[in-house]
Amino acid sequence: MPDKGQLAVDKFVEGYNCAQSVVFAFHEECGLGEDAALKVSGGFGGGMGRKQEVCGAVTGGIMVLGLRRDRAMRGSPVTEDLHRATREFMDGFAARNGSYLCRDLLSGGDLITEEGYRRVVEAGLFAKVCKECVRSAAEMLEKMA
């Protein structure tokens, strides 16, 4: 079985966003084709459309958690289990990385403006921070299986 953390990092280094990289690493076990995995998670990078809200590695991880479970109906044990697992994942990610919010992880870097995005790139934050967040999320999900 391939190392999901490394698989996610490799996808990120190829140029896919944080959410795509995490979802891609688990696409087979979740019953998604490669293309579907990348498409469904595409808008979640950069903290959801570069709004720097919840880190894309985290939202990608939450997608994986949901895909691992059977169809969830309101109030069903599956839904409650998913909510518990989501909180556990988010709390663990924050403990490991300092936050689960993109803006905090990037120390206030601005992904919305061209100038701000360029500064984040020049500071190497995608390589220093985001790559490790992607690895962290995938490793945590492996342990939660």
Residues 6+ positions from 131 with CB-CB distance below 8 Å: 9, 12, 13
The 3 state secondary structure assigned to 60-90 is HHHHHHHHCCCCCCCCCHHHHHHHHHHHHHH
**Six-digit token pair at 8?**
């996610």
DSSP three-state, residue 26: coil
Rounded CA separation 41/35 (Å): 10
Q: Which residues pair with 20 in a beta bridge?
A: none
Q: Where are the domains of the chain?
A: 4-144
What's this model's pTM, rounded to 2 decimal places?
A: 0.93
25-67 confidence digits (pLDDT tens) = 999 999 999 999 999 999 999 999 999 999 999 999 999 999 9
